[in-house]
């Protein structure tokens, strides 16, 4: 298993941009930091331009992004937030208001009641689980849908929104401000290290007894 897994510890935007620059096609993305994961979605704007000749509309990545919401319709709330970052509309994202599939959480996550957030009785491998697995596999890949992960506070839930990167977003000019932020962050990081080294040297210097 270890031969097939590589671990990285770098800035999220830098990591994704590097994959695209290396012409590595991304199929699935899990962004599981609900506090601000949606803010990093801008790195996928211009995905096609970074992949250049390796770009194919039939191989656009599917993204699973987590977020908090206090809205009465938390899935729509997060979908609107995602559209704001990606600069697209709900239809381009694959969210269709008239389809029940957009709120498939009641059937997919059968351990959570969408309205109350309470756990439902379910046994692993039950007919209900098999029905849910069948429902998941039947969901159109281009469709945007979400489910409630759990309650985190009264009237506040964690949502996972799944969608395929819209080609309208992928084929635009890439954003560039994220790289500037990364460079600035790296400069500040080096400055902190240099300052710490300087302080440590001062502490290690013998005191003058004269």
- CB-based contacts of 181, cutoff 8 Å, min separation 6: 13
Mean pLDDT of 36-56: 91
CA angle centred on 197, ends 196 and 200, rounded to 5°: 85
State residue 6's pLDDT score: 84
| Residue 60: pLDDT over 60 | yes
Mean pLDDT of 172-183: 63
pLDDT band for 79, please (50, 70, 90 cuts): very high
SS3 4: helix
Q: How far apart are CA 76 and CA 98, in angstroms?
A: 12
User: Could you read off the pLDDT of 96-139 as tens digits, one per residue?
Assistant: 866 555 555 444 444 433 333 333 333 445 555 555 555 555 55
Cα 125 to chain centroid distance, Å, stands at 29
pTM, 2 dp: 0.68
Q: How far apart are CA 1 and CA 45, in angstroms?
A: 32
- CB-based contacts of 73, cutoff 8 Å, min separation 6: none
Q: How far apart are CA 12 and CA 18, in angstroms?
A: 10
Signed CA dihedral, 36, 40, 41, 42: sign only:
positive
| Residue 171: pLDDT over 90 | yes
The residue ranking higher by pLDDT, 205 or 10, is 10
State residue 4's pLDDT score: 81
Query: Which span out of 22-31, 81-90, 173-182 was modeled with the highest average pLDDT?
Result: 81-90
State residue 115's pLDDT score: 36
């Amino acid at each position: 298993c270890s031969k097939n897994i590589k671990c990285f510890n770098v800035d999220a935007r830098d990591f994704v941009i590097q994959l695209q620059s290396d012409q590595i096609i991304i199929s699935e993305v899990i962004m599981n930091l609900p506090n601000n994961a949606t803010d990093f979605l801008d790195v996928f704007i211009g995905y096609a331009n970074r992949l250049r000749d390796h770009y194919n509309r039939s191989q656009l990545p599917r993204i699973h992004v987590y977020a908090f919401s206090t809205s009465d319709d938390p899935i729509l709330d997060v979908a609107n937030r995602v559209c704001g970052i990606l600069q697209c509309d709900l239809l381009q994202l694959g969210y269709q208001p008239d389809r029940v599939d957009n709120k498939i959480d009641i059937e997919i996550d059968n351990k959570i009641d969408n309205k109350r957030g309470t756990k439902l009785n379910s046994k692993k491998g039950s007919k209900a689980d098999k029905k849910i697995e069948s429902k998941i596999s039947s969901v159109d890949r281009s469709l945007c849908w979400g489910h409630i992960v759990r309650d985190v506070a009264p009237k506040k839930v964690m949502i996972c929104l799944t969608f395929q990167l819209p080609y309208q977003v992928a084929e635009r000019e890439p954003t560039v401000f994220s790289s500037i932020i990364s460079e600035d962050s790296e400069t500040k990081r080096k400055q902190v290290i240099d300052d710490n080294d300087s302080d440590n040297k001062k502490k290690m210097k013998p005191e003058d007894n004269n």
